[in-house]
Structure 1
Amino acid sequence: MGLGGCIILIAVGAILTFATDWHMEGVNLDLVGIILMLVGLIGVATFSGIAKRRRVVVPPPTTTVIEEERHHHHRDGYSDGYGV
């Protein structure tokens, strides 16, 4: 159940609790509405906690590149290796 389903549960629960005056024998619609709202709120809290963990961006570790200076030995009078 995603975030939309949780919001629908909260809305249906609120409608049953606050906007209706139906009376059914053996069923307390106010209590059913409160239970639906609580389940919806728990779902929203769980969903937001999971979504928050997914959004954490961990920067990749940076590596330091150390360039070594290489000493070229002068052979045959060519210092750059191209023979010019």
Structure 2
Amino acid sequence: MRIGSSIVLIALGAVLSFALTPGLIPYVNQVIIGYIFMAVGVIGLIVSLIMASSHRTVVHRQEPDVREY
């Protein structure tokens, strides 16, 4: 999961939890589903940021062994 999809899940969860009237979707507790989407989005965002920050590579260049006679 990348950063963009994590943000989409957080936004979708917030809409389901706070913006829609309860009971709009029959037989589904949309508030709980919204909270689950937001939790998964936050976890995905944290994991994405950790993976992005640890992806740095450091290249150590060694000077060539040049001998002058």
TM-score, normalised via structure 2 length: 0.78
Q: Which moved more, 1:31-40 or 1:15-24?
A: 15-24
What letter matches 1:15 in structure 2?
A: V
Bigger radius of gyration: 1
Determine the structure 2 residue equivalent to 1:37: 38
The count of corresponding residues between Structure 1 and Structure 2 is 68
> Structure 1 counterpart of 2:38, which letter?
M
Q: Where do 5+ consecutive residues of structure 1 fail to align?
A: 71-84
Q: Where in structure 1 do 4 or more consecutive aligned residues deviate above 2 Å?
A: 56-59, 61-68
2-structure distance, mates of 1:66, 1:2: 46
**Does the alignment pair 1:14 with 2:14?**
yes
Higher relative contact order (CA 8 A, sep 6+): 2
Per-residue CA distance 1:27-71 (angstroms, 9 max, x = gap) = 2111000000000000000000100001x3425155596866x5x
SS of the aligned residue for 1:49 comes to helix
* Aligned residues of 2:10 and 2:42 also touching (Cα < 8 A): yes
* 8 Å Cα contact 2:22/2:31 also seen in 1: no
Q: Which amino acid aligns with 1:60?
A: H
Deviation at 1:3, TM superposition (A): 1.1
Letter in 2 for 1:32: I
Identity over aligned residues, as a percent?
34
Q: Which structure shows the bigger proportion of residues in helix conformation? A: 2
How large is the Cα RMSD of the aligned pairs?
A: 2.0
